[in-house]
Amino acid sequence: MNRSPIPRVLSTLRRHRVKALLMGGQACILYGAAEFSRDVDLAVAVDPGNLARLRAALAALGAEPVFFPPLSAESLSRGHACHFRCRAPGLESVRVDVIAVMRGVDPFPRLWRRRERVRLPGIGTVPVMAVTDLVQAKKTQRDKDWPMIRRLLEADVARSPRHASRARIRFWLREGRTPALLMEVAQRHPRIAAEEARRRPALRAARAGDLAATEETLRREEDQERARDRRYWKPLRAELERWRLGRSRFP
């Protein structure tokens, strides 16, 4: 059986002291919401020292840019993602995607303070984006992200202690996307559910036990988030196109 190349990538980032949060599919695996991913998605701190360490780590991985734009503080700070494909022996199939600013997600310093520290055998402690922030980052126009949000919430409820914090219960009620899950959590925590339902029609339907209405309002929520994401990326894509065509200075 071939060993996964992901531990080598994470070890390299750790060895170079890159200040980055693991997110995307690899984080979902650690949270029990995914089974497989060959990509490494990172949220990074944008400062000269950290970007220098990131470049050194990418060089050690034989990583080459595969999409526009090249890695720079300005492109990352404006919300663009930078994409790399590893070419070092044994890592040829691994892609590394780097981003610093995301729609609807707090600035990196706040994400860093809320990070989870996951100890992995043979690697050490890896900083992972908190599941609450990961859910926000997954609210995109991509089809594959919405089933992942559902699984992240389901896994979080399943592994939480019997007496979860009020903050955690509110998170489940605000972000749960599975009708049965919303109904179950609302039934177990009626007071908190009543408070949160004032702001979420899907939760009001779930509290009423109306499955069809719950499903419909969840679909509307998703459609609205997808539309917001398309609007967010439209000017960024236009900016990339201008850079490609050389009509404005690239950072």
Give 162's pLDDT tier (boundaries 50, 70, 90). Answer: confident
Domain ranges for the chain: 6-130, 145-231
Give 1's pLDDT tier (boundaries 50, 70, 90). Answer: very low
129: helix, strand or coil: coil
Long-range contact pairs involving 130-136 (C-beta distance under 8 Å, separation at least 24): 131/31, 131/156, 132/171, 132/175, 133/105, 133/106, 134/23, 134/27, 134/28, 134/31, 135/175, 136/102, 136/104, 136/105
Q: Is the model's pLDDT at 237 over the cut of 70?
A: yes
pLDDT for position 2? 46
Contacts of 38 (CB under 8 A, 6+ apart): 5, 6, 93, 94, 95
Q: Chain-wide mean pLDDT for the chain? A: 93
pTM score: 0.92
Summarize pLDDT for 23-64 with one digit per residue, the tens. Answer: 999 999 999 987 677 899 999 999 999 999 999 999 999 999
**Domain spanning 6-130, CATH architecture:** 2-Layer Sandwich (3.30)
Q: Which structure tokens are listed for 64?
A: 């080459």
Q: Which structure tokens are listed for 14?
A: 């750790």
